[in-house]
Structure 1
Amino acid sequence: MSDFMTTVIAVSGPPGSGKTTLARALADALGNAASIHMDNYEQMTRKPLDEVMRWMDDGAPFDDVPMPGLEEHLARLKAGDSVVDPATGLKVRPAPYIVFETQFGRAHPGTGRHIDLLVWLDTPADVALARVLKAHTSAACREAGEAGCSGRMAWLDSYLENYLKLVARLVSLQRDKVRPGAEIVVDGTRDPAVLVGQLLRDIPRYSHRPLDP
C-alpha cells in the first residue's frame, strides 16, 4: 500500500461535539477504514492545571502539546505498516481510509501534514457542554451506590470549574485555528447517520480513491 492509496480523514471539533460518535460511524460506513485517536496519545491533560493555563496564556501553541508516537504512527499507517495503539494495546492495521479523531486538525504541524481531508463538527459550545454533562450525570445514575455517584459529581464539579477557566477558551481557539482548515464543515447538532450520509457523498471529491459502490 502506498501513500497515494491511503486517505486520512480527520474529524475535529470541540469537546462534546460528537467527534467519537461520528468517527466511529464513519469508519463503520466506509468499511475499509482504520481508526486512530489523538486522545490515546496526548499527555497535556495529565499536566497540572496551572501549567496548562500558562500554555494557554502563551497563545496555546498546538505543536507544544506532547503526543509521543502519534505522528510516527500516522506516517507508518500511510506507508502501509501496522501500529499498536498505546492506550488499548491493540494493533491498528493500515487501510485505504484512516479515520483520525483529533482536537487540532491541521493546526498541529506534526500530525496535520498527514491529513488529506478535515471534517469540522460545528457544534455550539452550550450543546457540547450539555452533552459532556449529560454523559456523566447519566453514568452517575447508572452506578450502584452513593459513593460512585458522589465520585461522578465531584468530577462534574471539577469539570465545570475547568470549563469556565480553560475549556471555553480552548473551544474559541479551535474555531479560530482548526475550523478554517476544514474542507467539510458539518452541523454537529444533527443525527450522526445524517452526517455520515453527507460525508459519504462528499469524501470522493477529496479522496485518492473512489468509495466502493
Structure 2
Amino acid sequence: MQPFVISIAAVSGGGKTTIVRQLSEKLHNSKSLFFDNYDFEGPDDIIKWLDSGAIYEEWNLSPLLKDLEILLTEQLNFIILDYPFAYKHSMIREFIDFTVFIDTPLDVALARRLTRDFQNSTNRNILQGLDNYVSRGRRGYLEMLKTIKPDSDISVDGTLPVLEIVNIICDRIKRCK
C-alpha cells in the first residue's frame, strides 16, 4: 500500500510550512517535503511568466519528484507536500491524492512575510519589500487565488488557529481515504 500524498498550497506567508509541520506531527508515520528546500529551474521573470499565462509546466520539478518517488517506496502512511501548485503540474499531479489550499487573506499573508523576512532589516529594506509586493508579488498571489485555490480539493480559512486548520484537514482526509 502506497502512502497517501497530501499537498498543501497557500500564498507566501499563508501558513503552508506551519501547517505541513503540524500535520506531520499529527498524522502518524508521515514524512514531509518542502518546496522551498529545492532550487528549481523555472521562469526567470515571474511577471513575464504570469503575463504569458502562468504555464506551470515551465517549472522543472525533477528534484522534488525524485525525492517524492523515494518516499513512495517507504512504508509510510502519509507524505505531506509543502507545494504551491496543487494539481497544476503534470509531473507531480499523478502522485497527489488530496490537495488543500490555505486561504489566507493577502493582507495577513503580507504581514506574516514582513514579520518573518524583515525582522532585522532596515526601514529601507522593508519599504523595498513592500514596493516589490505592490509592483510584482501581489500579482503572483492573485494568480494562486484564481488558479490554485479552485484546483484544490478543499480550501481552509488561513486565519483559523493552526490546530483547527490541521483538524479540518485530518477530518477531510479520513472521509476521502
TM-score, L = length of structure 2: 0.89
User: How many residues are aligned here?
Assistant: 177
Equivalent-residue separation in structure 1 for 2:89 and 2:43 (angstroms): 19
Equivalent-residue separation in structure 2 for 1:123 and 1:41 (angstroms): 24
Name which of 48, 59, 62 aligns with 2:53: 59
Aligned residue in 2 for 1:31: 28
Q: Secondary structure at the match of 1:107?
A: coil
State the shift of 1:30 in Å.
Answer: 0.8
Name which of 144, 147, 157 aligns with 1:187: 157
Residue 4 of structure 2 corresponds to residue 7 of structure 1: yes
Residue 96 of structure 2 corresponds to residue 115 of structure 1: yes
Q: CA RMSD in A?
A: 2.1
Gaps of 5+ in 2: none
Gaps of 5+ in 1: 81-93, 141-148, 208-213
Residue 105 of structure 2 corresponds to residue 124 of structure 1: yes
Structure label with greater radius of gyration: 1
Q: Secondary structure at the match of 1:5?
A: coil
Q: Is the 8 A contact 2:43 2:59 kept in 1?
A: no
Aligned residue in 2 for 1:70: 64
- Percent pairwise identity: 29
Aligned residue in 2 for 1:99: 80
Q: What CA deviation, in whole Å up to 9, does each residue of 1:23-44 have, x standing for no partner?
A: 1001101131100011112436
State the shift of 1:167 in Å.
Answer: 1.6
TM-score, L = length of structure 1: 0.75
Residue 141 of structure 2 corresponds to residue 171 of structure 1: yes
Equivalent-residue separation in structure 1 for 2:41 and 2:136 (angstroms): 13
Q: Is the 8 A contact 1:42 1:66 kept in 2?
A: no
